Amino acid sequence: MATLVAWFCATFALLSLSRGLTSARAPGPLKLLPLPTVQLLLGMAAGGTVTYFGIDSGLRWQDFHDLVVDVLLPVLVFLTALTLNRHSLRSHLATVLLLALVAILVTTAGVALAVYYGIGHASGFPIAAALLTGVLLAATDPAAVTSQGGQSRVAELLEGESLFNDGTAVALFSAALTLALASQGAVQGAFVADTLALFAREFFGGAAIGCACGVVLRWTLARTNNNTLRHWLLLLAALAFYHGAVLAHTSGIMCVLVAGIIANPLLRRDAFVDTLEQTAGGFLFLLAGFTVTWAMFAERWLAMLIGIGSVLTARAVAVFMCLGITRLWTRPPLSIAEQSCIALLGLRGAVTLALALSLPTDLPYWWTVQSIAYGVVLFDAFLLAPLAPWMTAHRARPSRQA
């Protein structure tokens, strides 16, 4: 218990330090970087320090799994859904759904095939491992864009897509992981079909439960005037809805996502919600940085490069294919520059890290999959995320709400 308390205190200190280093008044170049990137750096520095001095942090895989999957991820997705700009979502809904449902499946398939044949080790890295990698890398995180990119169609589409494809990715990952654990990674002809069938049950079952939970939450919020009570109600609702859906063998993330969208009109973003959302996301990035080891780069550098190349290519193909279809209803149509921004700035972040941290060590290939995911996230965080403000400002059309 003392170790856990000390760890939480240290984490909150690092969160405060990261906000200070990225504030407008902070000296030095770190204020030019997105907050998640600085948090990754601080987590890596803390992890390197602990390793160098041979300190046992007291944290084990199960601690990471329970904190990330059962607490941080549901809260983060729920708060994002509750505070999403509903007017923007309504105006871009058809495009967002196409990106979140079709583009993510195309990206997953493209990455899985490229990684599977690129690594070329069917016994050590079977199709189950490739599919898990594809799902991990297909989930996008708009934090670096929406926090710095202002109001533009690109930022709005990335934010809406990320929210919905987070639910899709987590449900698909859960289904693929369930079957991978059952088969211990054996290559089976029906593996992909079974994964899609289990995904459909989790996805639509979670959405149905989320509809009911959202109606109840909306009714309750409409009759609660005390802000403090509303804040604690939201936090408890996120955890209760998630675990209730999981007990019903459906997707808890889809449940909290849909519930949050339904209750969205009755919540305004305030300091408490901002702090809670930033804390949940910050914990994920610090945890990820803390678990980065140099052995990943020394032993899995080629797999990382294959992952980076495959996700950039598959994402571009999926986005240009889907956005080409949207020319039928989008006025004015998305320009090539805007489509390029959306393809390039679909950055991997909190959800990818959460799923990577939740990989069971029972899987023989968990280290390779996690290393690829970390490599892609670090590439996005240090090379693409700093370009986001410039790209959305100079190449993206302003939002209608701007």
Examine the pLDDT at 257 and tell me if it is beyond 50.
yes
Kindly state the helix (H) or strand (E) to which residue 352 belongs, with its residue range.
helix 350-357
The rounded distance, in Å, linking the Cα atoms of 331 and 327 is 8
What burial class does residue 49 get, using C-beta atoms within 10 Å of its C-beta: 0-12 exposed, 13-18 middle, 19+ buried? exposed
* Residue bearing the bigger pLDDT, 207 or 353: 207
The 8-class DSSP code of residue 54 comes to T
The rounded distance, in Å, linking the Cα atoms of 185 and 128 is 6
Does this model's pTM top 0.95? My answer is no
Peptide linkage before 34 cis (omega within 30 of 0): no
Examine the pLDDT at 187 and tell me if it is beyond 70.
no
Question: Which residue, 216, 205, 306, 218, is CA-closest to 252?
Answer: 205
Both structure tokens of 393:
């400002």
Output the pLDDT for position 151.
63
Both structure tokens of 357:
């941290």
The rounded distance, in Å, linking the Cα atoms of 129 and 123 is 10
Q: DSSP alpha helices (H): ranges in 223-293?
A: 227-247, 252-263, 271-291
pLDDT-wise least confident of 12-26, 152-166, 253-267, 382-396: 382-396
Kindly state the helix (H) or strand (E) to which residue 306 belongs, with its residue range.
helix 294-325
How far the first Cα of the chain sits from its last, in Å, is 49
* Residue bearing the bigger pLDDT, 375 or 37: 375
For residue 190, the tally of other CB atoms under 10 A from its CB is: 9
Output the pLDDT for position 225.
85
Examine the pLDDT at 384 and tell me if it is beyond 60.
yes
The predicted model gives 211-223 an average pLDDT of 93
Output the pLDDT for position 402.
43
The predicted model gives 206-210 an average pLDDT of 95
For residue 260, the tally of other CB atoms under 10 A from its CB is: 27
pLDDT in tens, 308-326: 999 999 999 999 999 999 8
The rounded distance, in Å, linking the Cα atoms of 389 and 198 is 39
Domain 2-394 has CATH 1.20.1530.20: yes
Amino acid at 85: N
The rounded distance, in Å, linking the Cα atoms of 210 and 170 is 15
Cα angle for residues 298, 302, 303 (degrees, 5° grid): 105
The rounded distance, in Å, linking the Cα atoms of 109 and 397 is 31
Band of residue 147 on the pLDDT scale cut at 50, 70, 90: low
Question: Which residue, 297, 303, 221, 291, is CA-closest to 259?
Answer: 221
Tell me the pLDDT of the chain averaged across its residues.
84
* Residue bearing the bigger pLDDT, 28 or 99: 99
Full DSSP string of 150-204: -SBHHHHHHHHHHHHHHHHHHHHHHHHHHHHHHHTT---TTHHHHHHHHHHHHHH
pLDDT in tens, 57-113: 655 555 667 778 888 889 988 988 888 888 888 888 899 999 999 999 999 999 999
User: What phi-psi label fits residue 120: left (phi over 0), alpha (psi between -120 and 50 degrees) or beta?
Assistant: left
pLDDT in tens, 358-382: 888 888 999 999 999 999 999 998 8
Output the pLDDT for position 142.
61
Domain boundaries, the chain: 2-394
Both structure tokens of 14:
């690092």
Full DSSP string of 107-146: HHHHHHHHHHHHH--TTTS-HHHHHHHHHHHH----HHHH
Full DSSP string of 356-393: HHT--TTSTTHHHHHHHHHHHHHHIIIIIGGGHHHHHH
Dihedral (CA of 137, 29, 35, 147) sign: negative
Amino acid at 351: V
81 in Cβ contact with 257 (< 8 Å): yes
Output the pLDDT for position 76.
87
